[in-house]
Amino acid sequence: MKVQCQACMRESDVSGVSGEEIPWRCPTCHARHTLSASFNLLSGLRLLDRYTLPPDLKCSLEVLRDLKEAARCYNAYAPRAAAVMVRLALERTCIELGAAGNTLHAKIEDLADRGIFDKVLVQGATAMRLFGNAGAHPKDDLLDEKGELVEYSLKMAVDLLGKAKR
């Protein structure tokens, strides 16, 4: 039977598989799925999440909403959209912390000057800002479909955005 990967959309031939919710990986992009099949007939196919947000994040509901959307984008193999949502979560956090400045770059510098962002936060925020910019501009090709940098950015956002002094 033909199975179409729900991440890269390529079709593969799968045979000798029967049962419910059987783990299956796309041979092309290695995206994890479960499939259900009987008598060589596909009856269900589901793309599994690559990343889930940890519970009890210490950020506002608005920032949490951005991070949830970033995780959904990442799990749907939309790395550029995910990077842009991480950047939005970061900028919203900066605004909540009372950052001055017109650009995100200026807001990060302002929070650093006032000691609200420490060195680790400034480095993390700068990476998130640059990945977000790469995701939103046609010329940049920093973010590939594997999404490793985006996963890094997402984990960093989850790790750092609740840690600034409020």
Contacting range for Zn ion; rule: CB under 5 A; set: 25-33, 40-48, 75-83, 112-120: 25-33
Nearer to Zn ion, 5 or 121 (CB): 5
Nearer to Zn ion, 23 or 55 (CB): 23
Please state, in angstroms and as integers, the Cα–Cα distance from residue 13 to each residue in 33, 40, 44, following that order: 15, 11, 15
Please state, in angstroms and as integers, the Cα–Cα distance from residue 154 to each residue in 19, 52, 111, following that order: 35, 10, 21
Could you say whether residue 29 binds Zn ion (CB under 5 A)? yes
What is the Cα–Cα distance from 85 to 91, expressed in whole angstroms? Answer: 10
Could you say whether residue 28 binds Zn ion (CB under 5 A)? yes
Q: How far is the CB of 13 from Zn ion (least distance, A)?
A: 14
Nearer to Zn ion, 7 or 59 (CB): 7
Tokens 């996963």 correspond to 151
Could you say whether residue 4 binds Zn ion (CB under 5 A)? no
Could you say whether residue 26 binds Zn ion (CB under 5 A)? yes
Within its chain, how far is the Cα of 22 from the centroid? Answer: 26
Could you say whether residue 78 binds Zn ion (CB under 5 A)? no
Please return the burial class of 89, using the count of CB atoms within 10 Å of its CB with bins 0-12, 13-18 and 19+.
Answer: buried
Nearer to Zn ion, 49 or 159 (CB): 49
Contact residues for Zn ion, defined by CB under 5 A? 5, 7-8, 26, 28-29, 31
